[in-house]
Structure 1
Amino acid sequence: MKTNFHTHHELCRHAGGNAEDYIKEAVKHGFTEIGFSDHAPNDTYDFGYRMRDEDFLQYVNDINTTKRRYSDILTTYIGLEIEHLYDNGEYHNQFKDHLDYFILGQHFIFVDKDPKKRISSFGLTSKEEIIEYGNILCDAMKTKRYKIVAHPELYLYGYLDFDATAEQVARQICECANRTNTILEYNGNGYRRDKIQTNEGMIHPYPRQSFWNIAEEYNVRSILSSDCHSPKQLYDDTMKEVEEIYSKLSTRKVTYFEQF
C-alpha cells in the first residue's frame, strides 16, 4: 500500500492530526501519493462530527501549505467526503473549485428525497430502507461528481443479515458503479469496529465479504483505503491485515490518482 485517498483531519472534530502529521506518516511508510478527504461542512448534519463552514478554507490552506514543503517526495491531493443531496449540485459547488475530487460518503438516506427527513445509514433495518440506500448511491453515481464511493456496503451495518434484498442492493450498486465508471472502496476502518452477529457469524460490519463476492462477479473498479482518523492508522498492523485480505480480491484495482 503506497497511496491512500481517504484521509481525515483534526478539523472534523472526531479525528486527530493536521496535514503535516499525516504527510510525515505517509513519507515514513514510503507512500507516493496521499489524498485528504475529510467530512464536508454541513450545518444540517453536523452533530459535532464535521468541520465548520468557517474551517473549510483553513483545511484547504493547511493541506496546500504542507504539500508544497513535501512536493519533492510525495504528491498530495485535496478532496472531501460528502453526501449526495437532491439539490442539483448546489451544495457541492461551494467547495469544488478548491478540490481535486469528491468521495461519496452517504451517511444518511432521505425519505421522499427530502434532506430534512433523514435516517442514518448506520441504522437501516428494513428492506425498504436499504433499497433506498441503493437508490441514492446510484443516483449519486449517475451525476459523475464522485470518484469513489466510500464503504458502499454501509447499509449492512444495521441490516445485519445478507438476505435476498441485501444481495439485490449489492448488485444494484455494483451495476451502477460499472455503468458510471465509479470506484468502490474497500474500507479498512471497518476492521477497527467491534464485530457484530450476522447470519454469517461474528464479523466486522464492513468490509462485508458477501458484498465483495458480488463485486468480484461484476469485476468492479475498487480501491483500498484506510479511512484513517489519526496518523498512526494510515498504515498500521490493522491496515496491513486488511491489505492482505484485499490483495486476494479479483476486482479491477485502482491505486493512483491518475487512474481515477
Structure 2
Amino acid sequence: MKFDLHTHHDRCGHATGKINDYIVSAIKAGMQVIGISDHSPYFAHEHDQPKPGIAMARSDFPNYIAEVLRLKDKYKDQIEVLLGVESDFYIDQIDLYRSAYEPYPFDYIIGSVHQTRGVSIFNRNRWKGKDEAEKIDEKKHYYELIRHSANSGLFQVLGHIDAMKGYFPLFANIPGAESEIDEALKAVAANEISIEINTSGSTKTVGGWYPSDVLLERALHFGVDVTFGSDAHIPERVGDEWELVQKRLREIGFSRWVFFRQKQKVIVPL
C-alpha cells in the first residue's frame, strides 16, 4: 500500500497548486492513500495572517478543512484522502493549538519544530559566530523541544526531526546531543506515535532525506514507528522516492511502517 502523509498547497503561500492537483498527482503515482497537511495558521498571533508566505490565514482554516473533506468524498472511489495538518510546535502555546484543532475530524496531525528561540531552523545565519559549545547547546535544545512535542499528546507524526541540517549540513556532525536525541526517540515510542521519513531534504542544501540513517537506526533500536511524507510543495513531488525509502527501511531492519486514520495507527508491512 502506497501512502504519503505530508503535502502542501498554495494556501500556505510558498507551495504551488491546489489540493485537487495533489490528489490527482497521487492517483497518477499509483497511491492508495494521500494525506493533505498544509501549514497551520499562527493561532497565537494578533494578526489573521502575519506571514502570508509561510502559513495560511487563521480565518481561512475552516475553509481548508471543508475543502479537504469535500475532496475526500469526491475521490472516495479512487483514493483515500486523509485530513491532516502540519502544526507548528510552540511549547508555550500548545493548549491554544490543541483547542484550535479540537473541533475538526483530523486523521492525523504532524508536529514540527520550525523555530527554536524565535529563529527558523532553516536560517543559515543562526550558526554564524557560534562556538562549538553554543552549537551543541542549540542541538540539545532542538531535541528537547522534539521530546516535548512527542509528549504533548497532540501529534500522531513528528515532522522532519533533523531538518536543522537542511541548509546547514554540518548540523548532523555536531556532537554532544546523543542523550537528547535518544530521549526524544524514547518519547515517540512511549507515546505510540511516529516519525516521518521526509524526502524534501533532497530539495535543500543537505541533499538527502530526514532523518539520517543513523537516527533511523536509533529509532529502530527504541521501537519507533515510521511513516512516509514527501513534504511536496509542488504536485509532481507527491510520493517522491517512496520505493527508495521502502527499500532503505528494509535494509536498516524495519519490517513495517504506518499511517493514521481517525488518529488510529494503520500498520503497513514493508
TM-score by length of 1: 0.84
Distance 1:88 1:119 in 2: 18
Superposed CA offset, 1:54-73 (max 9, x none): 22122122212212111122
Q: Hey, what does 2:160 align to over in structure 1?
A: 151
Distance 1:63 1:47 in 2: 20
8 A Cα contact 1:222 1:252, kept in partner: no
Q: Hey, what does 2:78 align to over in structure 1?
A: 73
8 A Cα contact 1:6 1:37, kept in partner: yes
Alignment of 1:99-118 (within 5 A): 99-110=106-117, 118=118
8 A Cα contact 1:104 1:149, kept in partner: yes
Distance 1:101 1:207 in 2: 20
Distance 2:110 2:98 in 1: 11
User: Shift of the alpha carbon at 1:121?
Assistant: 2.0
Superposed CA offset, 1:66-109 (max 9, x none): 12111122211211111222235113312332233210111012
Equivalent residue letter for 2:258 = T
Q: Hey, what does 1:245 align to over in structure 2?
A: 248
Structure 1 residue 254 corresponds to structure 2 residue 260: no
Q: Hey, what does 1:200 align to over in structure 2?
A: none
Match of 1:167 among 150, 159, 178: 178
Residues 143, 71 of structure 1: alpha-carbon distance in 2 compared, 3 angstrom cutoff: same
User: Shift of the alpha carbon at 1:47?
Assistant: 6.0
User: Shift of the alpha carbon at 1:29?
Assistant: 2.2
Superposed CA offset, 1:4-40 (max 9, x none): 1111121011111212111111122222211111100
Distance 1:107 1:101 in 2: 18
Superposed CA offset, 1:186-228 (max 9, x none): 1111122233xxxxxxx63733222223223223111121111
Q: Hey, what does 1:131 align to over in structure 2?
A: 140
Equivalent residue letter for 2:60 = D
Superposed CA offset, 1:143-179 (max 9, x none): 2110000001124444524243243332122111112
Residues 88, 174 of structure 1: alpha-carbon distance in 2 compared, 3 angstrom cutoff: closer
Q: Which runs of 4+ in 1 moved over 6 A?
A: none
Distance 1:87 1:161 in 2: 28
Match of 1:232 among 229, 233, 236: 236
Structure 1 residue 95 corresponds to structure 2 residue 101: yes
Distance 2:21 2:172 in 1: 39
> Which 10-residue stretch deviates more, 240-249 or 166-175?
240-249
User: Shift of the alpha carbon at 1:233?
Assistant: 0.3
Distance 1:66 1:138 in 2: 34
Consecutive unaligned residues of structure 2, counting only runs of 5 or more, are 128-134
Q: Hey, what does 2:204 align to over in structure 1?
A: 193
Aligned length: 245
**Structure 2 SS opposite 1:224:** strand
